[in-house]
Structure 1
Amino acid sequence: MLNIASILIGLVTLLLGIVAFMPLLGWLNWFVIPIGIVGIAVGALSSTNGGRNLNIVLVVIFALRLMLGGGII
């Protein structure tokens, strides 16, 4: 059950992160990354690793995007 919750959190993170990839909306990553971290925590409590791994990949991708944009754009 926690794995499904983690996957759902990951899907929300993915949808918001896709919006954050638009030019001049990079600041949205400051809100997307903590949502992904919550998904990692929920996935860590699960017996399977699918949701946790999804959220780890998303957080890494969006953190790289945030660093490339200088933290703002």
Structure 2
Amino acid sequence: MGVISIIWGVVALLWMVLSLIPLLGWGNWFMIPFAAVGAIIAAIGLVFTRAENRGRAKAGLWINLIAILVGAIRLSIGGGLL
């Protein structure tokens, strides 16, 4: 689950960077739910993994949360209207 959440988070981060380009801000509307699914996968990985093996799941959770946060900030400043 940890590896899946990291891959999901990297894809969300790439999508986030693409959505920072002017006129592509509408991509945040799709990236935020996509990253939320990745965060849910990471949370499931945290629950079902032993304590010493939770590093990948934690990293995936943080990557997805960063993507959600930056996307939400971008939408809040009006970047998602076009």
**TM-score, normalised to structure 1's length?**
0.90
CA-to-aligned-CA distance 1:14-51 (integer Å, 9 cap, x gap):
11111100011111100110110000000001132111
Taking every aligned residue pair, what percent have the same amino acid on both sides? Answer: 38
Distance 2:9 2:45 in 1: 14
User: Which aligned segments of 4 or more residues in structure 1 are displaced greater than 2 angstroms?
Assistant: none
Which runs of 5 or more structure 1 residues have no equivalent in the other structure? none
Partner amino acid, structure 2, of 1:33: I
Paired amino acid for 2:14: L
Q: Identify the residue that residue 64 of structure 2 maps to in structure 1.
A: 55
Q: Which of 1 and 2 has higher RCO (CA within 8 Å, sep 6+)?
A: 2
Could you tell me the TM-score, scaled by structure 2's length?
Answer: 0.81
Q: Name the counterpart of 1:64.
A: 73
Structure label with greater radius of gyration? 2
Q: What's the CA shift for 1:70?
A: 5.5
Kindly report the root-mean-square deviation, in angstroms, between the aligned alpha carbons of the 2 structures: 1.2
